[in-house]
Structure 1
Amino acid sequence: MIWISDGRPVYRRAVRQVYRDAQPTGKRGRPPLVLTPGVGLTQAVKRRHQGRMVRVEVRQVLGEAVDCPYPVHEERLNGMLRDRLNALTRKTHAFAKTTGTWDALVILCLFEHNWLRPHRALREAGEGLPEGRRYRPRTPAMAIGLTDHIWTWEEFLTFKHYQYQKE
């Protein structure tokens, strides 16, 4: 298991404390604890100058180096889920009591994020767009070719799809 974090020392201590196994030595007494094989920690430390980020320093703390030590995509997804699902926020009365409800909430939120909401970073330049626009809005599903238009809630709710049923 590979962990990616910022430069706070608490993560280093936590990973070392949680991911350790007893290594039997054949002697009497409690065996020493060693780091679990396959566990790693990479820290991406952001350096700022006058409020602007000037560079990112990558530190390999435990284990092997990772290809992309920037957790931006996971952070963006977690932030979007926290923003749209009250069950993930603190001090809320909106919580999911069953696994089925929780799964439905997350799936619905992910569908909306990927099919219904255009993302500014995915827009594409175009000519002849209505209202003098320079860019065509796109969703992640459009960007990877799963659809050719931004879906609406009505289209989503009335879409006839195949539902697998066990025999």
Structure 2
Amino acid sequence: MLKDLTSRCQCKPLFVSDELPHYGTVLGELFHELIPPVPTGKPGRPRNPERVIDSDLDYATVHKTRQGARVVKVERKVVHGCEQQVLARLEDSPSQTINTAYIERTNLDWRLWDAHLARKAPTVARSIDWLKAKFAICVACYNLIRPHETLSRGEDRIFRPKTPAMAASVTDHRWTFSELLAYPALCQ
């Protein structure tokens, strides 16, 4: 999924996550250069190339300290990239601080829409291809069909249904589900 995302972006996005170590591992696998080792001239197998993470990768984490069920402290840390560069990128975003609220909300939406993505669910995705196809439909519904409250209220506070695709000027209207399924790219 990250390869697909980065292939569509003009520049590397700012990545923000909790401290689950898998995120850093995947980002390191995806955004790195292989530096060939200096030949030693000795017999035997040559050393493996060294992985160096791209200098333009911006990745930050959020650590929440809890006492019982309450969050008592939130620490933000830039893992890869320059802190000034991360802060400059945040100035252009709706949130001015490093947080995981948007992605946590989006993950909740995906889990509600697809039982295979739910935590501790008895369902199992038997095919990765079917899972990818269902997820693509969920993403399309999220962006083209479902109006978002924060996008739909203007300065006059009157509700006018607006989807993320409308806000990004990708489309001029809210799509119907029939229109989405009839779109030629999805029918192939």
* TM-score (normalizing by structure 1): 0.57
Name stretches of at least 5 consecutive residues in structure 1 with no aligned partner.
Answer: 27-34, 128-132
Partner amino acid, structure 2, of 1:150 = R
- Contact 2:61–2:77, Cα closer than 8 Å, also in 1: yes
Aligned to 2:62: 44
- Which of 1 and 2 has greater Rg? 1
Post-superposition shift, 1:108? 0.7
Post-superposition shift, 1:134? 2.1
2:121 is the alignment partner of 1:79: no
Name stretches of at least 5 consecutive residues in structure 2 with no aligned partner.
Answer: 1-11, 30-36, 41-49, 91-97
Q: Secondary structure of the residue that 1:151 maps to in structure 2?
A: coil
Aligned to 1:88: 117
Partner amino acid, structure 2, of 1:38 = I
Counterparts in 2 of 1:2-151, with a 5 A limit? 4-6=16-18, 11=21, 36-38=51-53, 42-45=60-63, 57-61=75-79, 63-65=80-82, 67=86, 68=90, 69-89=98-118, 90-93=120-123, 95-99=125-129, 101-125=130-154, 134-151=158-175
Post-superposition shift, 1:64? 2.6
Q: Secondary structure of the residue that 2:149 maps to in structure 1?
A: strand
Post-superposition shift, 1:38? 1.5
Q: Which one has the bigger helix percentage? A: 2
Q: Which one has the bigger strand percentage? A: 1
Post-superposition shift, 1:104? 1.3
How many residue pairs get matched?
150
* TM-score (normalizing by structure 2): 0.52
Post-superposition shift, 1:110? 0.6
Post-superposition shift, 1:123? 1.0
CA distance 1:135–1:126, shift in 2 (3 Å) = farther
